[in-house]
Structure 1
Amino acid sequence: MKKTFEVSDRLFELYHRVHRLVNESMTEEGVSLARSKFLFFLSKLGPCRSTDIACALNFAPRTVTEAIDGLERDRLVMRKPDPEDRRAKIVSITETGRVVLEAAEHPRKQLIEEIFSALDDEQLDQLYDIVSKLVEKTDEIRRRKEEAEGAEVAVAR
């Protein structure tokens, strides 16, 4: 059991170190990793409501609104009235946002390549398989938990 926790701790340590390095390199290019998630989402899926962004990225609506406020202030996104709901706004990435996102993606990719160059192709394949198994297991646990919560709600009614 001790080995399991040691490996888990090392994975979390790796994640945080990579996250910090990637965030620093992207920020130097004008957009943090967190802000780039919003821009990337908008660049791939196109204009949408902030509630759609919150749901897709699993963020609180207020967090999304605050992030969009900042991105709009920096002219990386823009809001327009939703033609179907006068209370809502449609958010879209601007050309400036696309340029900044593209500029920040280069150092991110370069850094990831450099980090993973520590592994040969066989090790990279093995790591991919191992991480995939762990992702599948977490998805299985999440599904079981959601099913159990759904059953509890049904019983409570």
Structure 2
Amino acid sequence: MYLRELVREDAARCAELEEQLFSGDTPWSKENFELEFQQPYNFYLGVEEDGLLVGYAGIGLRGHVDDPEFEILTIGTDPKYQRRGIGRMMMDNICYIADLKKAPLFLEVRVGNEPAIEMYKAYGFKHLGIRRNYYQPSGADAHTMKRDSVTDTNSDKTPEQP
């Protein structure tokens, strides 16, 4: 398995995975992914195994460059490859990018998606609230979560004295 930046040619596979993962709502189309890949403040990465894209994720820079925030725009793993560390590989890199900029990271996750919620909690995400009817057309609610920059969190602490 290896991690790489996604390119326009990956849009069809990403859309195929979206359809598998989010068919009850409005999965992103190939055209949605193509447009997203072109946005100057978005970054998309994927995990490939044996030439097959098995995971994808995107983050977007929000706010001013001098005081940035990031948002996880999407993240998904091929159901046949789940529970193999692919989500964690992508999250490690997403958090690293946010921490480089000393920026908080936000996301929405479907209420009831306990495996994802537990993973996000393991990365330091805290629950902020609920967005009612966030996912359409199902009307499912979403948790809004935030992770402070590890750099910011640690910068408030003074070093321990020996």
Report the TM range for the smaller structure's normalisation.
Answer: under 0.3
Higher relative contact order (CA 8 A, sep 6+): 1
Larger radius of gyration: 1
Q: TM-score with structure 1 length normalisation?
A: 0.24
Return the structure number with greater helix share.
1
Q: TM-score with structure 2 length normalisation?
A: 0.23
